[in-house]
Amino acid sequence: MNTIKYVSPTERVKVWLADRALHIRFNNPERRNALSVDMWEAVLPLLKQAEADDEVRVVVFSGEGDKAFVAGADISQFEKERSGSDAVQRYDRMAEDTLMGIHRFPKPTIAVIRGFCVGGGANVAVSCDLRLAADNARFSIPATKLGLGYRYTAMKNLVDLVGPGAAKDIFFTARMVEASEAYNMGLVNRIVPVGELDALVEQYVGLVAVGAPLTLRAGKQIIAACLEPAGEAELEHCASLIMDCFNSEDYKEGRKAFNEKRPPVFVGR
């Protein structure tokens, strides 16, 4: 039985647990869900709770309303929070910690994208494992229009996802990329009409949530390792992750359920 209670530290981030999915929704609609400091800071504590909660099998990020997933960072705070050298370092460390916390989160993550997905919002989406988009989704990284420095980790996540050619196109031009083009370049996994997005998310959550947790965790880490130069230590770690799956109760349950022609019931051990 789940005993963890999820409470967001700010009204600008909503959180709820449903059907083994933890939903984190950016709630700043008057600014198209632009990320303020309190929104950035709300994410990591929720993820830490979700990592320890066996009931949570997947985390779903979304934005309030149909106009935007996240339309970038809240530029109105830049003069105060991102102007001097010390302030820039503090802000970038906070954003880095949040984005890498999403990227390295051991359970699957899904970004649900309606409308604008810009700047920091694109970074959040790219940090997730899967991106499900409505056909009104629009993507842009306008760093060159603002004179911002772009962190290595954020750029690497983008390059790993779409390749260097598409990453240069997105970054150099700062243009708005429509949903169909985003799908063709591999920026999103699926596109559906706006009215069908909730059903698609429900379908994906259902498919992921019934998967063996140890296998999902191992697969996510091994896919990440595939993007790095293969060293002996990394290969040994991947091998140990695979053996953890084969030695688990879930592997026994998977075989038994297959033979008994019934859905498996995985417990994550």
pLDDT digits (tens, 9 = 90+) for 132-175: 999 999 999 999 887 777 888 899 999 999 999 999 999 999 99
First to last CA, the chain: 16
pTM for the predicted model, two decimal places: 0.88
Determine the length of the chain: 269
CA 23 to each of CA 20, 62, 64, 71, 224: distance values in angstroms, whole numbers, following the listed order: 10, 8, 12, 19, 24
Q: Are 212 and 264 in contact (CB under 8 A)?
A: yes
203-261: per-residue pLDDT in tens? Answer: 999 999 999 999 999 999 999 988 887 666 677 887 888 788 878 888 888 888 878 99
State which amino acid sits at residue 75: I
Determine what percent of the chain is predicted with pLDDT higher than 90. Answer: 67
CA distance 124 to 142: 15
